[in-house]
Structure 1
Amino acid sequence: MDTELLKVFDHHGKHTGIATREEVHSKGLWHETFHCWFISKEEDKHFLHFQMRCAEKKDYSNLLDITAAGYINAEENVADGIREVHEELGIDLALEDLIYIGCIQDEIIQDIIIDRELAHIFFYNIPNPLNYTFQMEEVVGIMKVELALFEQLWFGKIENICATGIVVDKKLRQVEVDRRVAKGDFLPHTNAYISNVLMELKKIIE
């Protein structure tokens, strides 16, 4: 398999070279990613939609994360990141379907990985119910949570909230689910990243 190469940057976003994905994570190098958040409105409430990561994934298995996200390879530009929506969710979108709000830094530092991302953030307003075809080695479901409650959960005002959606069961069927989730059920993004994403989202929906 070809080695995955990524452009790397300094803390200020200046391009400094190219490195492998393994080097990026072992050395904590800044690199570009594509983050696409699906949002919807039902009656008078707004919802965020999270992908459920596959149980077999090496990193952050079973956790809820950005609807569709991935790395922007060295030979790609930001617009190429939209491939992640089709690859992970089986949804065909064009770049003009999305709302681009800019680049937000995000750091996730664990014992085995130092993930420093220059994340290009996009929003997609879901106009109608979607039929997902999941990339099973990556994603096994989509769960939605009420935006206002998610914000309270993330910043410690409440301990758990209701999430509803679909997941793939052992017979590979998409089944509806309804469960309580806590902050620990989500990928551990920084508070600054989540705060900035929510701030930009509110500008769009208000």
Structure 2
Amino acid sequence: MNTEQLKVFDQARNEMGVATREEVHKKGYWHEVFHCWFVSGDNLILQLRSELKKENPLLFDITAAGHLLAAETIEDGVREVKEELGVNLTFDELQPLGIIDYCSIQGDYIDNEIAHVFSYKCHLEIDELILQKEEVAGIVKVDFNDFRELWTGIKDVIRVAGYEIKADGSKHVIDKLVGREQFVPHPAGYYETIIEKIEKEIK
């Protein structure tokens, strides 16, 4: 996976060429990613990242997301939804939420992302999703207002409910209180922007 080729950009989003995924995160090149947030009624659907993930294992995250490869367009990002959750979507079914640039640094891992962000109004039950075990360990729902209050500092913990698939294939119920430290540490500004945009979709 570290040898995947990604397009790289300067901070003004001017394309500079191509680099491997490993180089991108070692040197901090700006690169394109696809983010899709599932909205189900008044809830967000979040994934629990697999324990096999090198970065941020077993933390809650965007419903489906991933890098756009050098030969891919933004529209090709819907493959992430199919791969991670087993849901066949067309690009036209997504609601664009804009492009968000942000930087996250964890040790020597530098993540400068140009995130193409979308939402999807999901009418499936979370039990119907088919999880890619290498990427996704579980799925939960969270009340959108709780999520907003967590990331605006009103609440320190919120309830998530769903399930986790263990290594032996067994399904375990998740129903617990979690704090910000149990989410992937995207910058607070990213979460605040997402909340503002999704709030308009829910109203």
Secondary structure of the structure 2 residue equivalent to 1:161: strand
Tell me what 1:161 maps to: 158
Partners of 2:166 and 2:197 lie apart in 1 by 35
What are the Cα deviations for residues 26-51 of structure 1, in whole angstroms up to 9, with x where unaligned?
1111100000000111xxxx111111
Q: Which runs of 5+ in 1 are unaligned?
A: none
Partners of 2:15 and 2:181 lie apart in 1 by 34
Task: Label 1:6 to 1:195 Cα distance change in 2 as closer, same or farther (>3 A).
Answer: same
Secondary structure of the structure 2 residue equivalent to 1:203: helix
Equivalent in 131, 143, 147 of residue 144 of structure 2 = 147
Secondary structure of the structure 2 residue equivalent to 1:38: strand
Q: Which runs of 5+ in 2 are unaligned?
A: none
| Structure 1 length-normalised TM | 0.93
Tell me what 1:181 maps to: 178
Q: Determine if the alignment matches structure 1 residue 76 to structure 2 residue 94.
A: no
Partners of 1:141 and 1:199 lie apart in 2 by 26
Q: Which runs of 4+ in 1 moved over 3 A?
A: none
**RMSD of the alignment, in Å?**
1.5
Tell me what 2:202 maps to: 205
Percent identity reads 42
Does structure 1 retain, via aligned residues, the 8 Å contact 2:3–2:22? no
Partners of 2:23 and 2:123 lie apart in 1 by 40
Tell me what 2:9 maps to: 9
| Structure 2 counterparts to residues 1-206 of structure 1, below 5 A | 3-41=3-41, 46-130=42-126, 131-206=128-203
Residue 2 of structure 1 deviates from its aligned partner by 8.7
Q: Which stretch has the larger CA shift, 175-184 or 19-28?
A: 175-184
Task: Label 1:91 to 1:15 Cα distance change in 2 as closer, same or farther (>3 A).
Answer: same
| Structure 2 length-normalised TM | 0.94
